[in-house]
Copies of this chain bind each other. A is one copy, B any other.
């Protein structure tokens, strides 16, 4: 339980001419973090989307503490920061394995919307709502 951990490799594609990772490249890793966290808790995004429920990003906040570098193997630690019937917030810490000081920290907020972008109340889907509540309880931040 606690934070979910997944690993990503920094590719040449992610770097820029400063010699470090371009700031937009981190967003792919945060997507990997929340996708793998939800998959490992039984709610793959492909299933949610197939049921007509999308979770677009409506708020993104990233703090870049220290540069990530080419070829590093990074750990994305993901937890659910908050959950209501209409939205979920994920929080991320990007670290070098074994190092507590994060390279970056971030949050993303996602409403539950239908295919036309209208906000849904997730408790109208009782089985999904129960599973996502359980996932949110399990995906809490490490003490």
Contact = CB atoms under 8 A, between A and B. Distances in A.
Majority DSSP secondary structure for residues of A touching B: mixed
Interface stretch (A19-27, A82-90, A93-101, A128-136): A19-27
A46 B70 contact: yes
A70 to B, nearest CB: 6
Interface string A103-128: 00000000000000100000000000
A120 to B, nearest CB: 15
A76 B13 CA distance: 17
A70 B48 CA distance: 13
Interface string A30-72: 0110010000000011100000001011111111110100110
A23 B56 contact: yes
Contacts of A56: 18, 20, 23, 64, 67
5 contacts: A15-B17, A17-B18, A17-B19, A24-B27, A46-B71
Given A12-B17, A56-B64, 13 more contacts: A12-B35, A13-B16, A15-B16, A17-B17, A17-B20, A18-B54, A24-B24, A24-B27, A44-B71, A46-B71, A59-B63, A61-B62, A67-B117
